[in-house]
Amino acid sequence: MYYKEPLAVVWLKRDLRLQDNEAIYNAINTGKRVLLLYVFEDFLLKDPHYETRHWNFIKESIADLNQLLLPYNSKVLAVHSEVAAVLNQLLQHYEIRDLFSHQETGLLCTYHRDQKIIRYCHNNFITWKENIWNGVLRGLKNRRGWVGKWKNYMNASVFPFHPKNQLLTIHEIEELEKQFSVMDLATPEQNSIQKGGVTEALKYEKSFFEERYLNYNKGISKPKIAVESCSRLSPYLAWGNLSTRQVWQALKAIRHHSKNKKDLDAFAARLKWQAHFIQKFEMEHTMENASINKGYRMLKKTISEQYQIAWQTGQTGIPMIDACMRCLNETGYLNFRMRAMIVSFFTHMLWQPWQDCAVYLSKMFIDFEPGIHFAQVQMQAGETGVNTLRIYNPIKNGYEHDSNADFIRKWVPELAHLQTKHIHEPYLMTPLEQGLYHLKLGTDYPLPIIDLKQKRNRASKILWEMKHDPLVMEENERILDRHVIQPKPLNDAV
Ligand SMILES: Cc1cc2nc3c(=O)[nH]c(=O)nc-3n(C[C@H](O)[C@H](O)[C@H](O)COP(=O)(O)OP(=O)(O)OC[C@H]3O[C@@H](n4cnc5c(N)ncnc54)[C@H](O)[C@@H]3O)c2cc1C
């Protein structure tokens, strides 16, 4: 038997960064040689929640890591395979006793995969050490004391990246690559979807804390302004180009000098919501497919393919909804309020099951984060029982948050030439007005596919009645006991 060099393997998941990466830090601390590994797993590549845009973001993140690793003469081994198969292959060359990764609060299919990896590691005498991800804790029964623990985690020192000539060299990794199906990291030039990588993430963070945050509260609900005044850090947090702790600590440093603490505190509160929602999903994983409040599982809706396609493609005849859907399809981004509104339209007005819009939106949101996503979709669908039922009126939201209709003009160009008084409700135009503007409704732009008022009343009546259902009420108690954290004033956020 020949000597095999000991190797610590870091399995990168949603932590595509070098700084404040506990898995990398722990691997380096073993004193062994270290390999950074990313596996493009077939079952995830085929999963309906993911789309090419996500894989491109990940490829860009790895390509960027490779640039950052150049001074260390190393790179990431990025292969298309299954994790156990890669470890098996690596075991031919190295003695592997340690596998490091973060704890993943992900889709059910990743949980099943993790179960397999636990068995694989056990059978092969490998210790798999999983570290906490962004303050989300495993095995909690309720939230008592959670905020304090989250704060301690956010305020603790970040994990530095100081390898001591331990990383496998580029040459060694290129030799290994010959035995795998290596992933081509090239991505098409896209202008409209945020690009992945630590370098990009830091640019967004810098511009936000230097200037953009000054309009945070003012712009947060307005789809055109929010593109600039919100941080746009969500994909970088979701894929781990930055840790929440890094952003939290940068925020604290800025807040110290800032005269604009209100905007920073509103942003800080949302950073806390990020972990809050993911913690909820960690403790309630069935939320991916079923309403958290079991009482709402009896709600049956008839699927309309025609409605769903009109919504997906931005052809509902309601300009604000169509603008949002077209913007999302092209850019992968929408601000919070508009996300809530399109879910409300789908589940309340079109009366379609939230599960269908959750899958479509996860594919479109470049920041798809299962923990936030399923909880938010259910909340906006009004199926949690514990949150206020909000049925968004897309016309009112248009007048209030896109008052000059700039956003609609940009994304629904067939209406761009209309006067603002017509653009939010083109279906009110008389045939004479349509003639004047050379716009034939039903041909150049669809007539509304539903009667908003009538559908709103139906949804409101059914959902309000359900609030009094004994199972819904019993479940409310359970959810509140398990998931509610003590409310904190916003100015206590940092
Ligand atoms: C139906 C629906 C689905 C959503 N799905 C996702 C998702 O898959 N991934 C995701 O990151 N966000 C999701 N959100 C939350 C929110 O809309 C986005 O985080 C935010 O719009 C991203 O833009 P930003 O980075 O500029 O946010 P900012 O306003 O700058 O907020 C900073 C960070 O705080 C976190 N955050 C902000 N708002 C929320 C919130 N309401 N709940 C939890 N965390 C929040 C995000 O990490 C965000 O990057 C969803 C919201 C809704 C209504």
405 lines ligand 1 (CB under 6 A): no
| The pLDDT value given to residue 486 | 58
Stretch among 64-68, 100-104, 361-365, 486-490 having the lowest mean pLDDT: 486-490
| The pLDDT value given to residue 201 | 98
Q: Are strands 33-41 and 94-102 parallel, antiparallel or unpaired?
A: unpaired
Check if the beta carbon of residue 176 is closer than 8 Å to that of residue 314.
Answer: no
CB neighbourhood size of 223 (10 A): 27
What is the 466 CA–ligand 1 centroid distance (Å)? 28
| The pLDDT value given to residue 491 | 36
| The pLDDT value given to residue 459 | 96
What is the 281 CA–ligand 1 centroid distance (Å)? 15
What is the 387 CA–ligand 1 centroid distance (Å)? 17
CA proximity to 132, closest of 283, 32, 15: 15
Ligand 1 closest atom vs CA 231: 30
Indicate the residue type of 151. Answer: K
* Euclidean distance between CA atoms 458 and 436, whole angstroms: 36
Residue nearest to atom 30 of ligand 1 (CA): 231
Indicate the residue type of 277. Answer: F
Of 341, 372, 378, 387, the residue with max ligand 1 atoms within 8 A of its CB, to mutate for a pocket test, comes to 372
Residues of the chain with CATH 3.40.50.620: 5-131
| The pLDDT value given to residue 154 | 96
Mean pLDDT of the region 291-305:
95
What is the 232 CA–ligand 1 centroid distance (Å)? 9
* Euclidean distance between CA atoms 247 and 267, whole angstroms: 11
| The pLDDT value given to residue 56 | 97
Residues of the chain with CATH 1.10.579.10: 294-482
| The pLDDT value given to residue 487 | 54
Stretch among 83-87, 178-182, 212-216, 280-284 having the lowest mean pLDDT: 280-284
Check if the beta carbon of residue 144 is closer than 8 Å to that of residue 317.
Answer: no
| The pLDDT value given to residue 1 | 62
| The pLDDT value given to residue 419 | 95
The encoded tokens of residue 421 equal 């008084």
The CATH number, out of the four listed (3.40.50.620, 3.40.50.300, 1.10.3720.10, 3.40.47.10), of the domain defined by the range 5-131? 3.40.50.620
Number of H-type helices and E-type strands within the chain: 24, 5
376 lines ligand 1 (CB under 6 A): yes
Ligand 1 closest atom vs CA 271: 34
Ligand 1 closest atom vs CA 340: 53
* Euclidean distance between CA atoms 196 and 184, whole angstroms: 15
- Tell the residue number behind the tokens 């309009």, with chain if given: 215
Stretch among 217-221, 265-269, 272-276 having the lowest mean pLDDT: 272-276
Binned at pLDDT 50, 70 and 90, residue 494 comes out as: very low
Using one digit for the tens of pLDDT, what is the confidence trace for 392-417?
999 999 999 999 999 999 999 999 99
Does 294-482 carry CATH code 3.40.190.10? no
| The pLDDT value given to residue 127 | 98
What is the percentage of the chain residues whose pLDDT exceeds 90? 94
32 lines ligand 1 (CB under 6 A): no
Helical H segments across 332-419, by residue range? 336-344, 354-364, 370-381, 394-401, 406-411
| The pLDDT value given to residue 485 | 74
Question: How many CA atoms, within 13 angstroms, populate the side-chain half-sphere of residue 428?
Answer: 11
Stretch among 84-93, 222-231, 472-481 having the lowest mean pLDDT: 472-481
What is the percentage of the chain residues whose pLDDT exceeds 70? 98
Bridge partners, 136 (sequence order): 133
The encoded tokens of residue 80 equal 């298309």
Ligand 1 closest atom vs CA 276: 43
Mean pLDDT of the region 422-433:
97
Neighbour-count burial of 28, counting CB atoms closer than 10 A to its CB (0-12 exposed, 13-18 middle, 19+ buried): buried
- Tell the residue number behind the tokens 């990940």, with chain if given: 58
The CATH number, out of the four listed (3.40.50.2300, 3.40.630.30, 1.25.40.80, 3.20.20.10), of the domain defined by the range 198-282? 1.25.40.80
| The pLDDT value given to residue 97 | 98
What is the 132 CA–ligand 1 centroid distance (Å)? 21
Higher pLDDT, 386 or 167: 167
Sign of the dihedral through C-alpha 153, 368, 43, 198: negative
Check if the beta carbon of residue 321 is closer than 8 Å to that of residue 314.
Answer: yes
Secondary structure string (H, E, C) spanning 399-424: HHHCCCCHHHHHHCHHHCCCCHHHHC
Check if the beta carbon of residue 47 is closer than 8 Å to that of residue 90.
Answer: no
| The pLDDT value given to residue 314 | 98
| The pLDDT value given to residue 2 | 80
Of 209, 211, 367, 494, the residue with max ligand 1 atoms within 8 A of its CB, to mutate for a pocket test, comes to 367
What is the 234 CA–ligand 1 centroid distance (Å)? 6
Residues of the chain with CATH 1.25.40.80: 198-282
Question: What CA–CA distances, in Å, run from 138 to 120, 129, 157, 445, 492?
Answer: 21, 14, 21, 50, 26
The encoded tokens of residue 197 equal 């990588």
Mean pLDDT of the region 60-72:
98
Sheet with 33-41, strands from edge to edge, namely 77-81, 33-41, 5-11, 94-102, 127-131
* Euclidean distance between CA atoms 291 and 286, whole angstroms: 8
Indicate the residue type of 386. Answer: V
Using one digit for the tens of pLDDT, what is the confidence trace for 457-493?
999 999 999 999 999 999 999 999 998 875 553 333 3
DSSP sequence for 462-488: HHHHHTT-HHHHHHHHHHHHHH-----
Indicate the residue type of 263. Answer: D
Q: What is the mean pLDDT of the chain?
A: 95
